[in-house]
Structure 1
Amino acid sequence: MESSDGSFEDWRASSPDCPSVASEYPEPLESSSDTREEEIADQKSAPSHGLILPSKDRKTGGHAYGYESGQKPYADAVTTQRTTQSALEATGRQSIQRLALRLAKDNVTKLVAKQVGMEAKKSFRATRRPLFLAQTECEIGFQVTVYLCMDEEDSASEESAPELGMNIIFDPKSDAIMLFNRTKGDEQQFITVRKRPISNAWVPIRIGSSERAMLDPASYSISWSGKHILDMTVFPRRYMSLVPRHLKPLTKNRKRALEELASQSSPPPVKKPKAKEASEGSSVSTAIQIDDDVVAVSGPTVSSSLRSKFNLINDLCHPMEALKLHDAIKVVNSIEEEDYTLTRKADIAVHRKSLVFKARHSDAAEELIVVKLLRSHSEIDHKDDKVMGIDVVGERWLKEVKNNYRVSEHRAIASIYGFDARFLTLYMEYIDAPSLDTHINGEGNPYCTLDSKDARQVLLDMTDAINFVHRKGVIHNDIKPSNILYSKERGAVLIDFGLATTRSTHNGGTRWYIPPEYGSDGKRGAPGDIFALGVVLLFLLRKIPLPELQSPPLVWDIRRRGVGNKKAAAARAQWESIVNEAAGKLKDMNDGVIHPKVLKVISRMVAPRPKKRATGDQIVEKVKEYDDVGSKYVFTY
């Protein structure tokens, strides 16, 4: 089958097999058995798509011993799952469509696209009809398998039909997608991408095994080892619009401008609704007048003359990174009732790999939430290990969201309310409390200004939270003062599961809170979280200054492990000596607040050997037996 030079719209209009867009979504296939176990695990913690808030009693219930054991505010979220593409089949929301795939029938028998995202994995098959794929709040992309026709040599060898594997990942910073070739092959086998219509001005892209390329919105012809296998059209994002603070009604002149814009888009627009977020049936998703000159719209194709007149969403680097303070963005979801508006209020933290800010969400208009955004890079640079591509960041985002949902039921852990894979964002509970690292004096070696009662409250709350997390099969891996918020009214709250894992091997973290065993075998696990909390308590009890600001500074590269790295090993040994000396001072401490038996178990939390280190259950046992407040505390387990 020869590839035509026409655009996607040409062959869609001429194809007798192609029904209306709203019915393009085929029935999902059953997932394969080798992924069933993973799906079941994900279903236990997967949320519904709407923003879900915990009860106010959980957030403002005073001391931690007001927490009710077994409380499950997300029970409804776990039981109200949907299949996103099935929902799309019912709604036909064209504004979230991002891909169209049509097979070369002479060379391909079928294509299967599997969702990569938060929902239980479902597969969608294409044979004769084109397959339309949407970018929803749940998917970072699709895993595509193309089943090739067997030639005479393949048939004679009695081998199974050859397969081509590709990953398609949506770029949160642009309208582009990343195409990753996951097919194992030699140098003679590669994917070739040609832009349609064919032009000498556009050089074909060659993608070898385990290589990737970024594709902008356009129509493409995809070949494998010289054989045309499919045509693919990438649509720009049409599911969001900026809503700045000062909006005015559209004037007649503005309406005419928008009609001119819509006339140059395809497919032809239906009757436009009044200015609102992303019209489902129109190629122009939003039209909103801003002051006197700027209109925010988005559509699949726009002429260069009109482009200069409008502030287009798909010109932005990342919509939420570019969102100005007090401005808002409207977002379309797979279900119309779950469309939402987000207003950026104030920044909390700006890092190289993430952005955190306070916001208002239309589903929780009466209170602030926290938006955490994972930053990614569209450019692919294999020489720079510090630059993470959208595929790597997308996988990290998935893990962080899933781990947050696994542990979000505990009142001493910040709740996750929702997420959006299109922006790599998490929508979290806002807690009006400073982190522990802010409670310091202004000296060169800053010591904690909280008292022993505060330290005891942190011990109770964090021990219960860590025990809860570990029983859910999660390791936090980054417990430190800056990741623990504290107020006398709420108690201590654990945040930031960005480095959390479900296994004991992990190479991230903050050096002063990483346990000694990591330096020898690279493992940490549950005992590593206990060690980190022990270091935090040494700081709270004023036995050491805040490690990050100690003077002179003591730093080392945590990736350099083993005795062969003498400089790192020497610095690590010096820090372990400081921690052991500080733990020894707890024996002589007597302020009448924390019982000596409890102080002893705190000192065992930083024991150099994991087998000698106190466990979470042992800490609970001691505080229940010897501490007046601890004996009344309602522990989860």
Structure 2
Amino acid sequence: MSSPSKEPLSSPYAKASANDKETGVSEIRETSQPSQDAQLEPKSSPTQIEPRIAELVKAPANEESRALEVRELSQPSDGARSGSNCSTTQIEPRVEEFIRAQADERDDRAAETSQPSESNGSTTQAEPRVEEFIRARANEQEVIAAEISESSHDAPSESNGSTTQVEPRVAEFVRQQAIGVPNIPVEDIATVFTRAVPAAPDARLLIHSDYPDGHDMRMNPAITRLSGITRGREILAVAQRLHDVYFTVQFSEPIELNCQVFYDPGSDDCFFINLSPEHIEVQLCGISDPGALFVLKSKKGQSVQPGIWRIAANQGLDHHPLFEFLLLEKPFNVSIHKANTPLIKRAADADVGKMSKRQRLENRMPAEIIATQSTDSLLSKSGSTETDLGSTREIVDKAAVPLLDLADRETAVIKVHPAATDSGTYRLQRIKQLGATRSTLVFSCRHSGLPKKRLVVKVLRYNGNSPLHLPIFARLWETEKSLLQDLKHRNVVALEAFDGRMFAIYLELLPLSLCRGLYSPFTQPDAHMILLNMSSALSYLANLGIVHNDIKPANIAYNPQRGAVLFDFGMACKIEERPGGGTPWYLPPDMIENKNRGLPGDIWAMGVTMLYVLQKIKMPERMTRGWNLRELVPPVQKESSAFVQMNDWLNIVAEKRAELNKKDLVENAVFQMLDTDGALRAAAGGIEEALKVPLKAY
């Protein structure tokens, strides 16, 4: 075996090698009309509007936010105009005239068709058929008016050649017609929410529903039903918990509605997206601002600011006002303190000494709730206060995830508001950066809620540049967290804690990764243990129906004492799901034919990894240049550069496979792992059983 390389060792979480940056090795997965018996409370009581809500009612929506073009998450809308940043329908004067003419025509037709009332025979009453006709025409005119307005949106005014502005009365008329409710004073709605806020100190959203029996959200543990606030309608308080990156609003009556509100970690704003069936449009209206009216087709979304919003849904000509919601500011804040010593050691030692046996046992388990102590215990016990930290500094990039702004030895204090009952306060000191990719940042850290744990934190690099990216990052975080929290295996990294508010997951600190330089330094006993441990981990995952999708030396930690440990589940998925992305050198030949990987794909990737461990090849990423995986989407063009490069690489693997010694237990297992036919490739469980023999003296 060749001599060990003397190149710098690599952290198990270090991903951004020079070659990674060049080729983009690990890619991100491609991821209202209330009923008459359910009116608002009368204004007889002297209820005062809570200042926060009153301010939200007064403040107009941000112009730049209203101008955000709403596009498909996967691709721009076919009807999007180049250079346009506005999705709000603007109404010009000739549309106002059109609406007035339509109303006159509707009245004339109603008068001709209706029958006299039997009560007095004088005043013409509209019979039910006519009322239905009028309602249908009213809805139809809204659609036509919007289409005319949209087509003429960029047309200059005939009077002066400038862009036509919406006449306020017309905008208000259209807004009321679209929402389909009477002019309920904003102050009345704000009063209802003001009554609800003290009863829900943990709430991020308050939902005021017309249909208390129509929604499908009662089983959601983030929801608290508030009673006694208003008659005939239901108020739901939605908390933003540590594992919540979005909230789903679902109605089955009177219409099938599915929307999601994504929480922005760097802002008080949220992203509202319509995920209802294709034929259902959602109308999103800021009721305190007549100009904030958005019509969202399926899979389109809109950034929303804190304030009161009203939701209605359209299905053909049917219009369904559903609910109002109050979006509150984040119930927590983040401050960054410059490096200072001691940082959190005194508080941690004091708290640990006072912990019960049960608390110490709980701290050894993966945490669903990050902070186990209250704000006071974290910041003032045993003489440790915020003054023990360094001075605070301004967060440079306020739109990004705040933890991305931390430098080595600095401390972030994440602190919930005093009235909140949820335990989400803790301190985090960054020790040293371990790795970074285009989508993640990893650094070792100390966590005040887990003072005895040696941790690393993985933070998704959402920078707030586009709200359209927010759902992508949120789902990436949720997928990895959801998979890891159910995994309990010695050779799989342990999830210790998480914080969806920060797009952060906290993991056990592992030994160095297998990336030890251009040449492998590992011995035969090392190779045996690494393959045994990894086959055990892969067999465990296979039994759970989980595919890792990114097996490689950089994602496996190892030392003889701890053994080999698999980590980085950012691309993992269930067997029935189709993954995207990966690292080119470790993808199986199955990828070319049908883009199918699955469990055999993980086995192939581990086989290539073992060629490096056994010193049969150099570090794969440094042997050849990478290739674009998007060019391998079936049907694959065989003349494409990606196809040619991958074929060349597979030929190298085939040559090295042929050189393996089948009489050697480990090399024979690797030979079976690299069968080009996925159906014939060795399974993880079989490899594990074959290697469960006492290690020989190599």
Give your verdict on TM over 0.5.
yes
Superposition pairs for residues 559-570 of structure 1, below 5 Å? 559-560=631-632, 561-567=634-640, 568-570=642-644
The equivalent of 1:617 in structure 2 is 685
Against the structure 1 CA distance between its residues 572 and 277, is the aligned structure 2 distance closer, same or farther, given a 3 Å change threshold? same
**Structure 2 match to 1:102:** 208
Q: Structure 1 621/233 Cα, relative in aligned 2: closer, same or farther at 3 Å?
A: closer
Does structure 1 retain, via aligned residues, the 8 Å contact 2:281–2:298?
Answer: yes
In structure 2, relative to structure 1, the CA distance for the partners of 1:562 and 1:352 (3 Å cut) is: same
Does residue 1:329 correspond to 2:418, yes or no?
A: no
- For the residue of structure 2 that corresponds to 1:436, the secondary structure is coil
Query: CA offsets, 1:361-403, max 9 Å, x none?
Result: 112213431111223365658xxxxxx6222322222221121
Letter of the structure 2 residue corresponding to residue 500 of structure 1? A
Alpha-carbon distance in structure 2 between the residues aligned to 1:618 and 1:547: 26
| CA-atom RMSD in angstroms | 3.8
**Aligned position for 1:368:** 454
Cα distance, 1:115 vs structure 2: 8.7
Change (3 A) 1:378 1:213: farther
Residue type at the aligned position of 1:191: V
Question: Which of 595, 599, 618 is 1:545 aligned to?
Answer: 618
In structure 1, what is the equivalent of residue 238 of structure 2?
133
**Counterpart contact for 2:399–2:464, Cα < 8 Å:** no
Contact kept in structure 2, 1:114 and 1:142, CA below 8 Å: no
CA contact (8 A) 1:240 1:313 kept: no
Worse overlay, 466-475 or 161-170: 161-170
1:434 corresponds to 2:518: no
> 1:510 — aligned with what?
583
Superposition deviation, residue 316 in structure 1: 5.2
How far apart are 1:146 and its partner, in Å? 4.2
- Equivalent in the alignment of 2:472: 392
CA contact (8 A) 1:345 1:360 kept: yes
Once the two structures are TM-superposed, the CA of residue 222 in structure 1 deviates from its matched residue by: 3.3
Say whether 1:355 aligns with 2:444. Answer: no
Q: Which residue of 2 aligns with 1:521?
A: 594
Residue 136 of structure 2: aligned partner: none
**Displacement of 1:129 after TM fit?**
3.5
- Shift of the 114–457 alpha-carbon distance from structure 1 to 2, 3 Å rule, reads same
Partner of 1:262: none
**Is the aligned partner of 1:6 residue 2:79?**
no
**Contact 1:115–1:139, Cα closer than 8 Å, also in 2:** no
| Kept after mapping to 1: 8 A contact 2:550/2:571 | yes
Q: Once the two structures are superposed, what CA deviation does each residue of 1:122-179 show, in whole Å capped at 9, x if it has no partner?
A: 896996242221111122222213466xxxxxxxxxxxx3343322221223111111
SS in 2 for 1:356: strand
1:241–1:278 Cα contact (<8 Å) kept:
no
1:210 aligns with 2:299: yes
The equivalent residue for 2:675 is 607
Task: Return the index of the structure with the highest Cα Rg.
Answer: 2
Aligned AA for 1:499? M
1:21 counterpart residue number:
198
Specify the code of the residue in structure 1 equivalent to 2:658: G
Q: Which has the higher strand share?
A: 1
Q: Which residue of 2 aligns with 1:410?
A: 489
CA drift of 1:549 comes to: 0.7
Deviations 1:466-502 (A, max 9, x none): 1112122211111100001122322211111111111
Contact 1:112-1:124 at 8 Å conserved across structures: no
CA distance in 2, matches of 1:115, 1:496: 34
Correspondence list, 1:550-589, <5 A: 550=623, 552-553=624-625, 555-557=627-629, 559-560=631-632, 561-567=634-640, 568-587=642-661
Change beyond 3 A, Cα 1:426–1:8: farther
Change (3 A) 1:3 1:376: farther
Cα pair 2:259 2:274 within 8 Å, conserved? yes
The one-letter code matched in structure 2 to 1:345 is I
Q: CA deviation at 1:519?
A: 1.3
Are the aligned partners of 1:168 and 1:177 in contact in 2 as well (CA < 8 Å)? yes
Aligned to 2:363: none
Give the CA deviation at 1:415: 0.4
Contact 1:357 1:371 in 2 (8 A): yes
Contact 2:224 2:237 in 1 (8 A): no
The change in CA–CA distance for 1:527 and 1:313 in structure 2 (over 3 A counts) is same
State how 1:158-177 maps to structure 2 within 5 Å: 161-177=254-270
What does residue range 61-72 of structure 1 map to in structure 2 within 5 Å?
none
Taking structure 1 as the reference length, what is the TM-score of the superposition?
A: 0.65
Q: Is the 8 A contact 2:281 2:295 kept in 1?
A: yes
Q: Is the 8 A contact 1:597 1:626 kept in 2?
A: no
CA contact (8 A) 1:7 1:219 kept: no
Name the aligned partner's letter for residue 130 of structure 1: I
Greater relative CO (CA pairs within 8 A, separation 6+)? 2
Aligned partners of 1:101 and 1:232 also within 8 Å: yes
Distance 2:449 2:527 in 1: 36
Q: Secondary structure at the match of 2:331?
A: coil
Give the aligned partner of residue 463 of structure 1: 535
State the 1:615 CA deviation: 2.1
User: Structure 1 residues 330, 277: closer, same or farther in 2, change over 3 A?
Assistant: farther
- Which residue does the alignment assign to 1:180? 273
Paired residue for 2:67? Answer: none
Contact 2:431–2:443 (Cα < 8 Å) also in 1: yes
Which whole-Å CA distance do the structure 1 matches of 2:376 and 2:597 have between them? 54
Q: Does 1:490 align with 2:667?
A: no
Secondary structure at the counterpart of residue 174 of structure 1: coil
Report what 1:145 is aligned to. 250
1:617-636 equivalent positions in 2, closer than 5 A: 617-624=685-692, 627-628=695-696
Deviation, structure 1 residue 576: 1.1
CA shift at 1:414, angstroms?
Answer: 1.2
Partners of 2:492 and 2:585 in 1: CA distance: 22
Distance in 1 (alpha carbons) for counterparts of 2:622 and 2:193: 66
Contact 1:397 1:424 in 2 (8 A): yes
Amino acid at match of 1:198: D
Q: Is 1:317 matched up with 2:400?
A: yes
Q: Distance in 1 between matches of 2:191 and 2:397?
A: 25
Partner of 1:422: 501
The answer to whether the 8 A contact 1:246-1:290 is kept is no
Where 2:546 maps in the other structure, the secondary structure is coil
Q: 1:619 to 1:458 in 2, by over 3 A?
A: same
| Aligned 8 A contact 1:486 1:493 in 2 | yes
Conserved? CA contact 2:549–2:571, under 8 Å: yes
Structure 1 residue 546: deviation in Å? 0.7
Task: String of CA shifts for 1:195-242, please: whole Å, max 9, x gaps.
Answer: 34235xx44223223210010112223344576543322111122332
CA shift for structure 1 position 312? 8.9
Code of the residue aligned with 1:183 in structure 2: it is S
Gapped regions of structure 2 (runs ≥ 5): 1-180, 341-373
Aligned-pair distance for 1:545?
Answer: 1.1
Partner SS, residue 390 of structure 1: helix
